[in-house]
Chain A
Amino acid sequence: MKVVILGCGRVGSTVGRMLDERGHAVTIIDRNEQQFKRLGERFRGETIRGVGIDEDVLRQAGLESADLFVAVTNGDNTNIMASQIAKEVFGVAHVITRIYDPVREQLYQGLGLDTYCPTTVQSQLIVDKIQERAAARPRP
């Protein structure tokens, strides 16, 4: 599968490395070249320095022939805009978008993006853990 990832932070670089190890063709975009160090020396994919909301940069990353686009920069609006360009302009079949703001996440999920919200997921995880502890503790 041909995968283009926008944002080479902790999540982007980890997803990139994992998919690369599994034999997928990975291209990763970041505006800061230093971030590519996170990929490690064994990474065989491509790296492109540029802004992800620029149609030309996305084209250069090979979005026209990509099967999957993942937007995980630390900016919600950048992820939202890049994802919509990927879907509407380049017709990428599967687009995954990270949105920290739960309200925005709900809205864009309703508009057809495959979104996920770390805020909601992590909060739920923490609350579940606390409740587990509370349930395990014997009542006085």
Chain B
Amino acid sequence: MYIIVVGGGKVGYYLTKTLVNEGYEVLLVEKNPEKVRIYSERFGEVCMQGDGAEARTLEEAGAARADVVIAVTGDDEDNLVICQMAKRKFGVGHTIARVNNPKNEEIFKRLGIDTTVSVTNIILSYIEQRLPDRELSHLVTLTHSDLAIVEARVTARSPYVDRPLGEVSLPRDVALSAIIRNGDLLIPGPDTRLEPGDDVIALTNRASEEELREALSR
């Protein structure tokens, strides 16, 4: 498999290094001659000086026989054009673009880039996916008061479990607003009993947040 990496910043450098070590045939294209000189000393003849958005550079790099072109410069407009040139002019089968502004990820996909990578979006989706597992997650912070809407998963050791909510003494300024049990929404009343695994959404004073977390998810 022949891979062309365009852009010799940190991402391009470590990507090339890793791919070389994995045994792939790799060529790194970088504009700055000084960087090219240093990289060539470090990992041999796998580095070429040139502007990856120029057809002549891509031709010289052998784009016509490349299986993958990866554009990882710090400029989204360059990454887009590099990938489009590779695909449309040289028929490269798979193009991968680094996206710096996360909003551009969708645009790139619409414009024919096969794979886009946005570090911002990866971190964001990681946080969002992990949300239900966290003990207490902020859903909304209300800006004009000291209140927040939070979500917590009830554990078996919670003192609130298996008692009617009417008998439970909640921290100050806390209102349990909703319970999600097996995907169904329950509106809690005084007779409702919490079960382990319930997700509770509550409106709380910021001062009582810690106490609520401790009680629900201990």
Using a CB–CB distance below 8 Å, which chain A residues touch chain B? 53-56, 75-78, 80-82, 84-85, 88-89, 101, 103-104, 107, 110-111
Q: Which residues of A contact B56 (CB under 8 A)?
A: 103
List of 3 A-B pairs having minimum Cβ-Cβ separation, nearest first: A77-B77, A81-B77, A103-B55
* B103 adjacent to A80 (CB under 8 Å): no
Bound form: Cα–Cα A33–B55 in Å: 33
Bound form: Cα–Cα A104–B81 in Å: 9
- Jot down 12 A-B pairs with beta carbons below 8 A, ordered by A: A53-B104, A54-B101, A76-B53, A76-B81, A77-B75, A77-B81, A80-B80, A81-B77, A81-B81, A82-B77, A85-B107, A89-B110
Which B50-93 residues have a C-beta within 8 angstroms of A? 53-56, 75-78, 80-81, 84-85, 88-89
Which B160-184 residues have a C-beta within 8 angstroms of A? none
CB nearest to A78 among chain B residues: B77
* B88 adjacent to A107 (CB under 8 Å): yes
* A53 adjacent to B76 (CB under 8 Å): yes
Bound form: Cα–Cα A104–B55 in Å: 8
* A80 adjacent to B77 (CB under 8 Å): yes
SS of A interface (majority): helix
Bound form: Cα–Cα A56–B110 in Å: 17
Which B8-43 residues have a C-beta within 8 angstroms of A? none
Q: With contacts defined as CB atoms under 8 Å apart, how many contacts are there between chain A and chain B in the complex?
A: 57
How far, in Å, is B52 (CB) from chain A's closest CB? 10
* B80 adjacent to A81 (CB under 8 Å): yes
* A104 adjacent to B53 (CB under 8 Å): yes
Using A76-B53, A77-B53, A81-B76 as known contacts, say yes or no to A111 and B81 having CB atoms under 8 A apart.
no
SS of B interface (majority): helix
Q: Which residues of B contact A101 (CB under 8 A)?
A: 53-55
Using A84-B111, A88-B107, A107-B85 as known contacts, say yes or no to A77 and B80 having CB atoms under 8 A apart.
yes
Q: Which residues of A contact B54 (CB under 8 A)?
A: 101, 103
Q: Which residues of A contact B110 (CB under 8 A)?
A: 88-89
Bound form: Cα–Cα A77–B54 in Å: 10
* A107 adjacent to B101 (CB under 8 Å): no
Using A88-B107, A88-B111 as known contacts, say yes or no to A75 and B89 having CB atoms under 8 A apart.
no
* A55 adjacent to B53 (CB under 8 Å): no
How far, in Å, is A55 (CB) from chain B's closest CB? 5
* A104 adjacent to B101 (CB under 8 Å): no
How far, in Å, is B102 (CB) from chain A's closest CB? 11
Q: Which residues of B contact A82 (CB under 8 A)?
A: 77
| A84-B111, A101-B55 known, 17 other contacts, Cβ within 8 Å | A53-B101, A54-B101, A55-B107, A76-B53, A78-B77, A80-B77, A80-B80, A81-B76, A81-B80, A81-B81, A84-B107, A85-B107, A88-B107, A88-B110, A101-B53, A104-B53, A107-B88
Q: Which residues of A contact B80 (CB under 8 A)?
A: 77, 80-81, 84
Q: Which of B55, B78, B104, B111 contacts A77 (CB 8 A)?
A: B78
Using A104-B53, A107-B88, A111-B88 as known contacts, say yes or no to A80 and B107 having CB atoms under 8 A apart.
no
